[in-house]
């Protein structure tokens, strides 16, 4: 049974297959094609946190491919204690071909995989955001062609998006640099696990902007305060303010570098308007690609043959 829980569960060939399917469905859509590849399939989304892109891109992907989609807040699903998680998982699994979850705890997603008996997608947890990272590397591939060896620089918090990006980059042989204050970097445990799985991976952590941005192909940032960390917001704003992606920082990278942001962005904090809306920004192409990638991923998950 295929799931998309963590990117370490995928091989590089599977990622390339998902990218090829996503690209093919994207170009087909531009010609008005909406093949009913998922006709009769039902996707159920259960979210503990807000979402614009993840929720709507999955729903649009499912509907354009002839399937149906329904949404439940975690409270409506009874995940707040109405019944045991394993019972909710078993019941929903009986109705759905795919369950997409957005949670605080990664453990909740792991339990759904264990008990639901159906395909499960991690639509973001405190630890990971695999659908986002796949979309980001897909977007990088659209712009640069072969991504292997092109330097990916993440400026900001070593959060859920950063861990999934580091994994996606390791899978696709993309050197990954995180430019962050000492106490907000990727953990030693995470890095050791990654190195064990991908011995050739090239991960660098630094707070030196010049070293980080030298030869950058992609400059990426995310919010300084993720969902669930609101109590730390003032401290995070203070610590991360030198890490704002602005014209000066972009000027330290090659002119050919492109800017990515998973969104939602806090304009004026981690990124300035001139960068978000500037010629190097791919942020909205990236956001649209969430839907194309969701299509490729759903087809891979449900093993829809791809000629």
Binding residues for ligand CP, rule: CB under 6 A, are 51-54, 124, 132, 262-264
Confirm if 275 and 250 have CB atoms less than 8 A apart.
yes
Closest CB to ligand NVA: residue number: 226
101 binds ligand NVA (CB under 6 A): no
In the numeric block, which tokens belong to residue 212?
Answer: 């980080």
If binding is defined by CB under 6 A, does position 161 make contact with ligand NVA?
yes
Distance from C-alpha of 288 to C-alpha of 206, rounded to nearest angstrom: 31
For residue 43, give both structure tokens. 């996707």
How far apart are alpha carbons 292 and 233 in whole angstroms? 33
Residue 159 interaction partner, one of ligand CP, ligand NVA, none, beta carbon < 5-8 Å per kind: ligand NVA
DSSP 153: E
Residue 167 CA to residue 68 CA, distance in Å, equals 31
Distances (CA, A) of 136 to 32, 68, 140, 219: 24, 26, 6, 11
Q: How far is the CB of 275 from ligand CP (least distance, A)?
A: 17
The site for ligand NVA, by CB under 6 A, has a size of: 8
Comparison of 155 and 262: residue with beta carbon closer to ligand NVA: 262
Does the CA dihedral 63-67-72-74 come out positive or negative? Answer: negative
What's the min distance (Å) between Cβ of 83 and ligand CP? 26
CA distances from 127 to 104, 105, 134, 165 (A): 8, 8, 15, 12
Closest distance to ligand CP from the beta carbon of 161 (Å): 8
Residue 286 CB: number of other CB atoms within 10 A? 26
Distance of CA 190 to the CA centre of its chain: 17
Which of the listed partners (ligand NVA, ligand CP, none) does 222 bind, with a CB threshold of 5 to 8 Å by partner kind? Answer: ligand NVA
Residue 159 contacts ligand NVA per CB under 6 A = yes
Binding mask of the shown chain, residues 201 to 230, with x at each position contacting ligand NVA by CB under 6 A: ---------------------xx--xx---
What is the pattern of x (binds ligand NVA, CB under 6 A) and - over residues 41-80? ----------------------------------------
Which entry of ligand CP, ligand NVA, none binds 223, CB below 5 to 8 A by partner kind? ligand NVA
Task: Establish if 103 lies at the interface with ligand NVA (CB under 6 A).
Answer: no
| Alpha-carbon span 11 to 244, nearest angstrom | 34
Q: Does position 269 bind ligand NVA by CB under 6 A?
A: no
Name the minimum Å distance from CB 54 to ligand CP: 3
Taking each helix axis as running N to C, give the angle between helix 283-301 and helix 53-64, from 0 to 180 degrees, rounded to the nearest 10.
50
Which residues in this chain contact ligand NVA in the complex, by CB under 6 A? 159-161, 222-223, 226-227, 262
């Amino acid at each position: 049974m295929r799931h998309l829980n963590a990117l370490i569960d995928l091989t590089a060939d599977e990622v390339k297959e998902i990218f090829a399917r996503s690209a093919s469905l994207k170009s087909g859509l531009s010609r008005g094609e909406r093949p009913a590849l998922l006709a009769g399939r039902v996707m159920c989304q259960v979210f503990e946190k807000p979402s614009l892109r993840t929720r709507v891109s999955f729903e649009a992907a499912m509907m354009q491919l002839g399937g149906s989609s329904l949404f439940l807040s975690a409270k409506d699903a009874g995940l707040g204690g109405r019944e045991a998680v394993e019972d909710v998982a078993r019941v929903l699994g009986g109705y759905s071909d795919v369950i997409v979850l957005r949670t605080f705890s990664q453990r909740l997603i792991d339990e759904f995989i264990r008990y639901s008996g159906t395909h499960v997608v991690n639509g973001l947890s405190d630890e990971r955001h695999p659908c986002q990272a796949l979309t980001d590397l897909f977007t990088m591939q659209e712009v640069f062609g072969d991504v292997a060896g092109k330097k990916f620089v993440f400026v900001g918090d070593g959060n859920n998006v950063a861990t999934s990006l580091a994994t996606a980059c390791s899978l696709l042989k993309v050197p990954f640099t995180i430019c962050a204050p000492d106490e907000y970097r990727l953990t030693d445990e995470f890095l050791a696990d990654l190195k064990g799985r991908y011995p050739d991976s090239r991960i660098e952590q630094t707070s030196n902007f010049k070293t980080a941005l030298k030869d950058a192909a992609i400059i990426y940032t995310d919010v300084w305060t993720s969902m669930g960390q609101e109590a730390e917001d003032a401290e995070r704003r203070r610590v991360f303010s030198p890490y704002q992606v602005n014209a000066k920082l972009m000027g330290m990278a090659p002119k050919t570098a492109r800017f990515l942001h998973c969104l939602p962005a806090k304009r004026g904090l981690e990124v300035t308007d001139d960068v978000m809306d500037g010629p190097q920004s791919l942020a909205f192409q990236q956001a649209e690609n969430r839907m194309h990638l969701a299509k490729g991923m759903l087809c891979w998950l449900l093993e829809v043959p791809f000629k």
